[in-house]
Every structure is written in structure tokens, then in C-alpha cells.
Amino acid sequence: MKNLIETVHRHAGWLAAACCALAAWAFGHALAGYSHAQYPLAFLGARGFPQALAFNLLGFVVPGALAAAAAMALRARLPGDARWPARIGARLLMLSALAFAAQGLLPLDPDDLDGPRSQWHATAWTLWWIAAGTGAALLGGGLWRRSGWRALAGMALASSVLVVVVALAPPGLWPAGIGQRIAFGAWLGLWIVAARVPSGRGAAQP
């Protein structure tokens, strides 16, 4: 079990980021008129679009599942005396990973963006950013004073700020596609940094 946790910890994060990025590039390139700056990723998986099912699987579901596995591995590797903010933060980040995957299972309906199907997707997006922003903040704050975990704590805090700023920014402040990619990139980057945390259980600094 320990070897499995270590394997997941080392590889799940970068695989999630690579899978999402490659899917966005490949399917966006194949869809005529699609602009990464203007349109959210969910448009590539909207109902009726070419290859929508494949994009939802590779762009949301698989990366979300890998991120959830990374979150479980991180939770198992936290210092034994880690306090409640770090532990709750890790659990919320796992919830954010499941919500990320849910965005692919609940695709947008481009013919009815205010309809129930699109609203389910919007709910998954909202749950993602709330869990990601809150979880990253708690994890970063809970690990900030612990040796060996400072890089992850700093990345978690930065990720939290970027996710929340993008989610709460007034419409029109920047193109929707750019803002969403900043948020997703910061969140996926957190899992890459998490893989670099050594196995040793660092002690809190005085």
C-alpha cells in the first residue's frame, strides 16, 4: 500500500495536468473557429459538438480522477501531527477534483445555456472553485510553518488566490477563456508541486 501511495503521489499530478492540456490543445485545434482566449474549455465538450464525449473524458474526467488520486495520496502522506486546517484542506481539494471530473459528466447545452443541463455544469464549476480555493488556502496555511512542505504551502496559497480571483472577477475584466485557464492551470500546478514533497514528515518550525 505504501508503494502504491508513493507511485500515485509521484505521477498522478503531472499526468492530470498533461492530459488536460493536451486534450485542450488537440480538440481546440480541431474545432474550427474555437479560440482558447475567448471560450471556456467546456465548449469543447458541449452537447452536439464534434468529439465532445472524447474531450469530456480526456479533458475533465480523467484529469479529475487523477487529481483525486493525488489528493488521496497527499492526505495519506501528511505529517502525523498535522493540524486540522491541512487535513480539511486536503479533503476539500479531493472534493474539488471530483467536481472537476463532474464538469465532463455534466456537459453544457449550447442551445440552452440557461437551461437545466447547463446549470448542472455551472454547479459543478462553482463547487470546483469553492472547494479548490478554500482547500488550497487551508492546506497552505496549515503547512506553512512545517519544514519540507513550504514549497507546497506557497503554491497552495498562490493557487487559492488565483482561483478565487478568477472566479469572482467582474465579467469582462479579461476574456473568459484566459481567466479559466489561469485558474485551472494554478490548480493543476498544485498537484505537480505536491509530487515534489519528500516522503519525510517534517516538523513544525517554532
For residue 147, give every residue at least 6 positions away whose Cβ sits within 8 Å of its Cβ, in sequence order, or none: 202, 203, 204, 205
Check residue 77 and give its pLDDT: 86
Check residue 27 and give its pLDDT: 95
For residue 72, give every residue at least 6 positions away whose Cβ sits within 8 Å of its Cβ, in sequence order, or none: 8, 94
List the grid coordinates of 202: 517534517
Check residue 117 and give its pLDDT: 85
The count of other CB atoms within 10 Å of the CB of residue 206 is 4
pTM: 0.90
Check residue 154 and give its pLDDT: 95
Query: How far is the C-alpha of 120 from the C-alpha of 101, rounded, in Å?
Result: 13
State which amino acid sits at residue 75: R
Check residue 203 and give its pLDDT: 41
The three-state secondary structure class of 146 is strand
Name the burial class of residue 57, with classes exposed (0-12), middle (13-18) and buried (19+) by CB atoms within 10 angstroms of its CB. middle
The mean pLDDT values, 10 residues at a time, for the chain of 206 residues are 68 93 94 89 90 96 96 88 90 97 93 84 96 97 88 95 92 83 96 78 43
